[in-house]
Every structure is written in C-alpha cells, then in structure tokens.
A and B are shown apart, each in its own frame.
Chain A
Amino acid sequence: GAVVSQHPSWVICKSGTSVKIECRSLDFQATTMFWYRQFPKQSLMLMATSNEGSKATYEQGVEKDKFLINHASLTLSTLTVTSAHPEDSSFYICSAGEGAGDQPQHFGDGTRLSIL
C-alpha cells in the first residue's frame, strides 16, 4: 500500500527556534500534499494544501509567514514552523494524495512539536 513517511516524530525545542518537518511519499507520486494540525482530543484542522512546483494554498487564519510550506518534488513536502512559540505546540500531520477524489489520502504518522 501507499506509504507516507513523516519525520521527525517528536521535536522539543526552545522558543524562537525554527523547526522543519518533512513528509515523503515513498512508493507513489503525490500530486497534492496536505498539512494538518490536531489539537488534543479534536479532529484534524487543515492548514494548507500544496501542489508540486507551485505555492501552497493556506486555509483562512493560517499564517503563511509562520508556517512555510515547500513542495519541491512529487515525493517531498516540508513544513517549517518559523520562530516557534509555545502556542505552536501541537501534533502536525501530513498526508499525500494521488489526485483523484475517489482515492484516499495517505497519512504520515505525525510530528509532536513541543516548544518550551
């Protein structure tokens, strides 16, 4: 089956640090990748959608300059949380889609980000 690798799985860092999270589709080409944020005991909140080679589309309320998304190839997307602060602490999950709506998104295992 389709595998999405997300790295790192845990990050603990000081306030003001920038953190990069990688999302790779290992055995398929992902035309679209999605970044979600999940607060404790809540559903997934879509942050942005990215297509290879083009700028990401951010959801309303998500700061583009805070959450930088790069989708340089059909198998790799990165999310950089710039100058992270404690309120950015959360569980971030990426997923990858093959383009067709009847195909499921394939999810990474998530990244637990803790900002001290």
Chain B
Amino acid sequence: AQSVTQLGSHVSVSEGALVLLRCNYSSSVPPYLFWYVQYPNQGLQLLLKYTTGATLVKGINGFEAEFKKSETSFHLTKPSAHMSDAAEYFCAVSERNAGNMLTFGGGTRLMVKP
C-alpha cells in the first residue's frame, strides 16, 4: 500500500528564513502529488500539485515544490517565511488510475518565530 512520510512533525523557522518541509512517497510508479495547508479549525487548502510535466511547481503564497523521481520526494519550500505561514502542512498522493483517493502524510506543523 502507498505510504507518505513527512519528516519532522514540527518545524520552526525565523521570519524571513527559508522554509523546507519534507515529503517522501513509497510507490514505484510516481503518483500525483499534492501539498495542502490547514489553519486552525479549518479545512484543507490546496497549495500546489504535480501531475506531469515540469518537475518544479509553483503554488499559492510563494510556495513551490520539486518532484524528484529518483528520490521519491516532493519537498515543499518557500524562500522567506512570513508569520502568516504558521499552520499545519500535509503532503498527499493519489495513485494514477485510482480516482481522487488521497493518501496523506502525518503532517508538519510549521512555526514561525518573529
């Protein structure tokens, strides 16, 4: 079965510093890849997705992620953290030809220090 690993359940950065949130998936066939953000007491909002084509994808709020097949990774980055980026981030994958079913990682809580 597909699994998604997010290394680091908590990540703390200073405002203005680089944000790096890690995501690795397990399947040998590259799935569709998604990053979602969740603010307290809210649902999930899509940040970006990779399905095909260019491996570096840009999303909302200045985030981007790079699909690396050789590393089975899809790490999320942002050059300069803002206080408003503090939230829970989830990496999720959807297997090709499996409809919309998502497998989620355990989540990473991003804290931004002033």
Contacts and interface: CB of A to CB of B under 8 A. Distances in A.
Interface of A: 4, 6, 9, 32, 34, 41-44, 46, 49, 91, 93, 95, 97-110, 112
B105 to A, nearest CB: 7
A62 B42 CA distance: 23
Given A34-B102, A43-B107, A100-B99, 12 more contacts: A43-B105, A43-B106, A95-B43, A95-B44, A97-B99, A99-B99, A99-B100, A101-B100, A101-B101, A102-B51, A106-B46, A107-B36
B53 to A, nearest CB: 11
A6 B43 contact: yes
Contacts, number: 65
B49 interface: yes
Contacts of B42: 109-110
Contacts of B49: 102, 104
Contacts of B44: 44, 93, 95, 107
B101 A49 contact: yes
A4 to B, nearest CB: 8
B107 A97 contact: no
Given A43-B105, A43-B107, A44-B90, A103 B100 contact: yes
Contacts of A41: 109
A97 B100 contact: yes
B43 A104 contact: no
Interface size range on B against A: 20 to 34
Contacts of A99: 99-100
A47 to B, nearest CB: 13
Contacts of A109: 42-43
Interface string B36-57: 1000011111100101100000
